[in-house]
Amino acid sequence: MVWLRRSTKPCVCAARRSWAFALACNSWPVSGLSYGERKGLGWIGGVCRQLVAGPGNPLPHTGWNEVTPTRPHPVLDALAPAKHCYFNHSFVLNPPADARAAITEHGERFAAAVAKDNLVGVQFHPEKSQAAGLALLKRFVDWTP
């Protein structure tokens, strides 16, 4: 991952914008605990870890959850005031507070979306989230950070 961190940092800085679904959890934080501890790219900080399983919240977390924005953002405003989106995952990102942009809950509250500078990442699948996902993708395409 070190070679990737060195080669992609200039690309992110020079890119007009960058988007990730679920991938943001595994590669954008400082470190990840999915399938052993791994270094991340460090683009937004935080740690990727497994959701806590329990009665009523099995893993993987698969299904529809309400996603609530925690702050305004030109792309993620498509989710305001709150929209249902489709999730299929077992790991979550604990980002720094300034990167957290939306939340949801599955046994615990976690970041459903992150945004920092020209980066936007979501934990859910917008392509499976019907009207809310289409609106989000349209806003991303139209966005000029």
- For the annotated catalytic residues, the residue numbers are 125, 127
Compute CA 91 distance to the chain's CA centroid, rounded to the nearest angstrom. 11
The DSSP output letter for 52 is: P
- Please give the structure tokens belonging to residue 139: 């806003």
Q: Are strands 31-32 and 109-116 parallel, antiparallel or unpaired?
A: unpaired
**CA 111 – CA 101 distance, rounded (Å):** 7
Burial of 23 (0-12, 13-18, 19+ CB in 10 A): exposed
Q: Is 126 helix (H, G, I), strand (E, B) or coil?
A: helix
